[in-house]
Chain A
Amino acid sequence: MTETTTPSDAELVERLSHLPVERDTAEHYRGYLRRELVMSRCADCGRWHHPMRPMCPACWSWNVAPTAVSGRGTVHLFIVLYQGPPAEGVDYAKAPHPVVTVQLAEQEGLRFTGTMVDCALDEIRIGMPVQLTWIERHGSPYPAFRPAATPGAA
């Protein structure tokens, strides 16, 4: 489900205890609850950063703001996990788990890593266009990618 009210820091850490929520990355994870993929963006020079940075590494401005990305991009790195950390809905023995690092449309080198859904393992390719989608994990929205909708298709 998608939140309408903003949880406190304490609620956020408790709610997402399965994720490494820290002070500098809290807004990224709070975004999950609204189904928004939030990264930090420098309000002075316009650079995006992920993971979120308290200060812009490019211009040293502290004027950075949590900002949602479009979630569109292309697969840059692609692995299939046959074993790995436990997670709800992941059963490595039954279904090897795909993980893709996506080069986001916003900026060269800005990437986000997630699993891939709605796509057979053998159809995932480096370079394929994808878009953000949301799955449920431990009762909260969790970001993932799926093949980009073909222009003109429903």
Chain B
Amino acid sequence: MVRNPVKDQVAIVGIGSTGFTRTNERSALALGLAAATQAIGDAGLRAADIDGVVAVAEPGAPTPQMFASSLGLDTVTHWTRPSPVVMFAIVDAVNAIHSGCADTVLIVSSMLRLPWASRSAASDPFRRRSGSAVPRVPEDIGLAPAYAAWASRYLHEFGVTREAWGRIAVNGRSNALRNPLAAIRTPITLHDYEAARMVREPLCMLDMDLPVDGADAFVLTAAARAKTMPHSPVLVHAIATGMVGENTEDQLGGLARHGQHVVVEQLKAKSDFWIDDVDVYYPYDGFTIITAAWIENTGWCGIGQAGRFLRDHWVDAEARVLIGGRVPINSHGGSLSEGATRGTGHVREAVVQLRGEAGERQVEGARTALVTPGGFFLNAQGALLRRA
């Protein structure tokens, strides 16, 4: 039996973001503090109001105790350092607030490009020494290469082309054009996608998210308390993470059942509404194949049908998708074009839209959001958010 005792009990009341860039000389701590102070201010709060700190364990990112001391917090009753992707942090904050471990929790996710991920990052003497000491070989398809590997299987099993992935890449970039926080704001076309350099065939440069520097922060508190705060609270209606036992990348049973399926089952059972009632939609796009899989596994279309679905809902004049002529996909540009925030950008943009503060990106009357960060193996997750 699936339970949901936290339904609508906790609200996101503050957001802050540095924006994302590929040229940055600030430290992960400085970026995190900039986002954190902005989020606390956005919630109408001060340092003394924060008693929980969740600092996402991005490589080289500051610990919760460093944020507590650097922000001059007074008394802290809950602090953790969850793995990326974003929803582990949100789940933790929701649980801490609902259980009484903390009243008001700050989440900070601060990221710096790893030296091996970018030539400019490699030239930074302070980050050359970071990164993993475990030797990796070309034949290890763990982590990122696994998505290219299963992408090969996707093409094989469904007899489709790379069309869906191209549309996801172009859609992200077209949406980023309207987002001042985005790292890249130059348009691309499906032709550019076809011509892009292969990196891990069948995935090319434009199938992969963009390594960036920057930070996002969130403030969450009990829904009852949120009513007195400056912005319309955004309620966490349902939240889930999902994994199957055989999750080793090359041993995964197959595309028919993995973490995404578990998340979808959980969310459907926990929520009062589903995709027919969703106004804005944020499927993860660390790789385009992940987005195609989310779209299919969430039930927007059949398995292997993402290409046709995106073509059917494509708005040529805007070079992007509007489902049913209305619901955008990753209206901020996603990890592909805003930058590889590991899902914090997706949650932040959902909050901005549900508050009605998205300016030229605003979806009229947006009241509900579906956010599904993560991939297949170890970090599939999702949440349904709604405006109070």
**Chain B minimum-CB-distance residue to A79:** B148
Q: Interface segment, B4-12, B15-23, B42-50, B198-206?
A: B198-206
A113 contacts B140, CB within 8 Å? Answer: yes
Encoded as 1 (CB less than 8 Å from any A CB) or 0, chain B from 126 to 151 comes to 00000000111111110001001111
A81 touches which of B135, B138, B150, B152 (Cβ 8 Å): B138
Q: How far is the CA of A17 from the CA of B134 in the complex (A)?
A: 10
Interface residues of B in 144-168 (CB under 8 A from A): 145, 148-153, 156
B135 touches which of A19, A76, A80, A97 (Cβ 8 Å): A19
- A62 CB, nearest partner CB in chain B, Å: 18
Cβ–Cβ < 8 Å partners of B151 in chain A: 79
A77 contacts B138, CB within 8 Å? Answer: no
A96 contacts B199, CB within 8 Å? Answer: no
Q: How far is the CA of A111 from the CA of B136 in the complex (A)?
A: 19
Seen from chain B, the residues whose Cβ lies within 8 Å of a Cβ on chain A are: 134-141, 145, 148-153, 156, 197-203, 245-246, 248, 250-251, 253
Q: Interface segment, A4-12, A84-92, A146-154?
A: A84-92
Asked if A101 CB lies within 8 Å of chain B CBs, one says yes
Interface residues of A in 95-109 (CB under 8 A from B): 96-97, 99, 101, 109
A79 contacts B134, CB within 8 Å? Answer: no
Contacts A17-B135, A101-B149, A126-B156; A82 near B197 (Cβ below 8 A): yes
**Chain B minimum-CB-distance residue to A18:** B135
Subset of 8 A-B contacts with CB under 8 Å: A19-B135, A20-B135, A76-B153, A77-B152, A80-B198, A80-B200, A99-B149, A112-B250
Contacts A79-B145, A81-B145; A99 near B150 (Cβ below 8 A): no
Cβ–Cβ < 8 Å partners of A57 in chain B: 245-246
B250 contacts A111, CB within 8 Å? Answer: yes
- A115 CB, nearest partner CB in chain B, Å: 6
Q: How large is the interface on A (under 10, 10 to 19, 20 to 34, 35 or more residues)?
A: 20 to 34
Cβ–Cβ < 8 Å partners of B134 in chain A: 20
B138 contacts A96, CB within 8 Å? Answer: no
Cβ–Cβ < 8 Å partners of A81 in chain B: 138, 145, 199-201
B150 contacts A109, CB within 8 Å? Answer: no
A77 contacts B201, CB within 8 Å? Answer: no
Contacts A20-B135, A77-B150; A82 near B245 (Cβ below 8 A): no
B138 touches which of A50, A51, A99, A110 (Cβ 8 Å): A99
Asked if A78 CB lies within 8 Å of chain B CBs, one says yes
A80 contacts B201, CB within 8 Å? Answer: yes
B138 contacts A79, CB within 8 Å? Answer: no
Q: How far is the CA of A110 from the CA of B246 in the complex (A)?
A: 11
**Chain B minimum-CB-distance residue to A84:** B138
Cβ–Cβ < 8 Å partners of A96 in chain B: 198, 201
Cβ–Cβ < 8 Å partners of B138 in chain A: 81, 84-85, 87, 90, 97, 99, 115
Cβ–Cβ < 8 Å partners of A78 in chain B: 149, 152
B200 touches which of A18, A79, A111, A114 (Cβ 8 Å): A79
- A146 CB, nearest partner CB in chain B, Å: 14
Cβ–Cβ < 8 Å partners of A17 in chain B: 135
- A28 CB, nearest partner CB in chain B, Å: 13
Encoded as 1 (CB less than 8 Å from any B CB) or 0, chain A from 39 to 59 comes to 000000000001100000100
Q: How far is the CA of A22 from the CA of B198 in the complex (A)?
A: 33
Asked if A83 CB lies within 8 Å of chain B CBs, one says yes
A50 contacts B251, CB within 8 Å? Answer: yes
**Chain B minimum-CB-distance residue to A21:** B135
Q: How far is the CA of A74 from the CA of B49 in the complex (A)?
A: 59
Contacts A87-B138, A126-B152; A101 near B250 (Cβ below 8 A): yes
B250 contacts A113, CB within 8 Å? Answer: yes
**Chain A minimum-CB-distance residue to B155:** A126
B200 contacts A127, CB within 8 Å? Answer: no
Cβ–Cβ < 8 Å partners of B200 in chain A: 79-82, 84
**Chain B minimum-CB-distance residue to A111:** B250
Q: How far is the CA of A54 from the CA of B83 in the complex (A)?
A: 25
A18 contacts B137, CB within 8 Å? Answer: yes
B253 contacts A99, CB within 8 Å? Answer: no
Encoded as 1 (CB less than 8 Å from any B CB) or 0, chain A from 121 to 140 comes to 00000110000000000000
A115 touches which of B135, B139, B153, B202 (Cβ 8 Å): B139
**Chain B minimum-CB-distance residue to A112:** B250
B141 contacts A99, CB within 8 Å? Answer: yes
**Chain A minimum-CB-distance residue to B145:** A79
Q: How far is the CA of A85 from the CA of B117 in the complex (A)?
A: 11
B137 contacts A82, CB within 8 Å? Answer: no
Cβ–Cβ < 8 Å partners of A126 in chain B: 152-153, 156
